[in-house]
């Protein structure tokens, strides 16, 4: 059993915010893998289904970001799972937009949603860090993450979310390498080959033979005669 948690704030006002990329990820996973509709449970929105051979619960806490741990802790106790079975999708300002990394354990780096989860279940859970970029100064961070993605972000954001859905079965099996590869294939797809070769170069005219030096043009016999003159 795995618990995938998407972090964000509830309500249409926040739906397009950078801070809500975790919500977006679990919603896309639910859509692409045929999960039933989300229902209210554990102070959040919950959907249960399967990813590959693994049973998975998708959870979006509706406690607002700063109290996300209340919802996660309640779900953890209900399913009787360990923190290691929890995977949290969240925005990461220390990664450039369109970059994604996985991590297990460690600090919360000032992220209020992670801070709350630490308080309720400890640090030993996995995270999918979804890069949204940094506004350039720490004082601008709250306004930056609590703001909609820019129009220019739409393409990479959709690719990242589709990649998360593609790789979700691998992530449920704790194969983070395969999950990361699935995301990378969406963000940086290989260039298609045309399947045709260019024209075969035709040989040009052979360069003319160099004119022999005067001494080289003389026959060996002539050279021998010259020695006795």
- Residue 208: how many CB atoms within 10 A of its CB? 6
Annotate 23-47 with DSSP letters as a single string: HHHHHHHHHHTTPPPPEEETTEEEE
SS3 label, residue 210? coil
Query: Averaged over 47-70, what is the pLDDT?
Result: 97
Clarify whether 90 is annotated catalytic. no
At residue 191, the pLDDT reads 78
Query: Averaged over 71-93, what is the pLDDT?
Result: 98
pLDDT in tens, 107-130: 999 999 999 999 999 999 999 999
Q: At what angle do helices 176-187 and 154-172 cross, to 10 degrees?
A: 160
Query: Averaged over 207-226, what is the pLDDT?
Result: 53
* Catalytic site residue from 19, 33, 111, 118: 19
Q: Mean pLDDT lowest for which of 25-39, 73-87, 197-211?
A: 197-211
Determine phi and psi for 72, rounding to 5 degrees: -65, -45
Q: With beta carbons less than 8 A apart as the criterion, state whether 165 and 29 touch.
A: yes
At residue 225, the pLDDT reads 47
Query: Averaged over 14-24, what is the pLDDT?
Result: 98
pLDDT in tens, 120-164: 999 999 999 999 999 999 999 999 999 999 999 999 999 999 999
At residue 228, the pLDDT reads 46
CA angle centred on 22, ends 45 and 132, rounded to 5° = 160
Superfamily name and number for 2-187: Peptidyl-tRNA hydrolase (3.40.50.1470)
Question: What residues contact residue 117 under an 8 Å CB cut-off, 6+ apart?
Answer: 5, 68, 69, 72, 73, 88, 108, 125
* Separation of alpha carbons 223 and 204, rounded Å: 37
Query: Averaged over 27-45, what is the pLDDT?
Result: 98
Q: Where are the alpha helices (DSSP H) in the chain?
A: 21-32, 68-79, 112-121, 141-145, 154-172, 176-187, 214-217, 220-227
Determine phi and psi for 151, rounding to 5 degrees: -55, -40
- pLDDT of residue 215 exceeding 90, the answer is no
36 exposure class (CB count in 10 Å sphere: 0-12, 13-18, 19+): exposed
Query: Averaged over 18-38, what is the pLDDT?
Result: 98
At residue 190, the pLDDT reads 85
pTM: 0.83
- pLDDT of residue 219 exceeding 50, the answer is yes
Query: Averaged over 68-81, what is the pLDDT?
Result: 98
- pLDDT of residue 208 exceeding 90, the answer is no
- Torsion sign over Cα 33, 93, 84, 42: negative
- Residue 18: how many CB atoms within 10 A of its CB? 23
User: What is the average pLDDT value for the chain, to the nearest integer?
Assistant: 90
């Amino acid at each position: 059993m795995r618990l995938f948690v998407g972090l964000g704030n509830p309500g249409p006002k926040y739906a397009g915010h950078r801070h809500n990329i975790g919500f977006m990820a679990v919603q896309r996973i639910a859509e692409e893998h045929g999960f039933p509709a989300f229902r209210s449970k554990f102070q959040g929105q919950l959907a249960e289904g399967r990813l590959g051979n693994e049973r998975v619960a998708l959870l979006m806490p509706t406690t607002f970001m700063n109290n996300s741990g209340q919802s996660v802790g309640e779900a953890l106790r209900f399913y009787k799972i360990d923190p290691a079975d929890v995977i949290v999708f969240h925005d990461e300002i220390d990664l450039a937009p369109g970059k994604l990394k996985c991590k297990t354990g460690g600090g919360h780096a000032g992220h209020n949603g992670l801070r709350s989860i630490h308080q309720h279940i400890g640090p030993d859970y996995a995270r999918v860090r979804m890069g949204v970029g940094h506004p350039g100064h720490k004082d601008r961070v709250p306004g930056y993450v609590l703001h909609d993605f820019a129009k220019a972000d739409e393409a990479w954001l959709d690719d990242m979310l589709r990649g998360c859905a593609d790789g979700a079965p691998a992530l449920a099996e704790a194969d983070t390498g395969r999950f990361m590869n699935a995301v990378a294939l969406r963000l940086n797809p290989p260039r298609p080959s045309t399947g045709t070769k260019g024209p075969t170069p035709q040989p040009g005219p052979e360069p003319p033979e160099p004119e022999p030096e005067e001494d080289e043009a003389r026959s060996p016999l002539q050279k021998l005669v010259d020695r006795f003159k």
